[in-house]
Amino acid sequence: MNLILICLFVLSNIPVCIKPEEITYIYGDKVHGLYLCRGDVAPKDCQNCIDMASERIQRECPLKKQAIIWYDQCLVRYSDRPNFASTFNVSSYYWIVYNSDQSFSWTTQVKGISDAMFDNLTPKVTNNLKYAESFDEITPLSFSQKLYGMLQCIPDLSAEDCRACLKGAAI
């Protein structure tokens, strides 16, 4: 049985939440699904993103035993393995990033501000909040831009694993 179909059944039949969901299929195969929206996304937008990602993951990753898809506002993941937190390794999954619509040149000034922002947000995320955000203003030369920083960990990740994951993700 295709794990995607089982996972999509789960995703379409439970309310939007941030916890991993699991079902056992009638033939004994298990699928573990996770969907997570950014902490600043409205519930309706979250549901729309999950629906779109669920449809896309079915098209992009047919017959795969594990996959993850990221959009700007949400992610959807499924796997034949339990324990998302202990098995989460981006390089071992099929993943795609869509809908990131903001970009600007990565200067030394931006890097310095983003590093400081990252250092400031990490303790907030790892102290049971699992989500933190910050804004800062960049004023290079003749224009001004705002830098938005957001960090979020999967809810079932321990504080230590969240911290290690964020440290590994730092640029």
Distance (Å) of CA 169 to CA 34, 47, 156: 20, 27, 18
Last residue of a domain, one of 92, 120, 139: 92
**Distance (Å, rounded) from C-alpha 25 to C-alpha 161?**
30
99 located within any domain: no
Range(s) of the domain holding residue 157: 108-169
Model confidence pLDDT, tens digit, residues 24-83: 444 456 667 778 888 888 888 988 898 898 888 888 887 787 888 888 888 888 877 765
97 located within any domain: no
| Overall number of domains in the chain | 2
Is the overall model pTM greater than 0.85, yes or no? Answer: no
**Distance (Å, rounded) from C-alpha 73 to C-alpha 80?**
24
Do the beta carbons of residue 47 and residue 16 sit within 8 Å?
Answer: yes
Whether residue 40 sits in one domain with residue 83: yes
What is the CATH classification number for the domain harbouring 45?
3.30.430.20
Model confidence pLDDT, tens digit, residues 2-11: 445 555 555 5
Whether residue 113 sits in one domain with residue 70: no
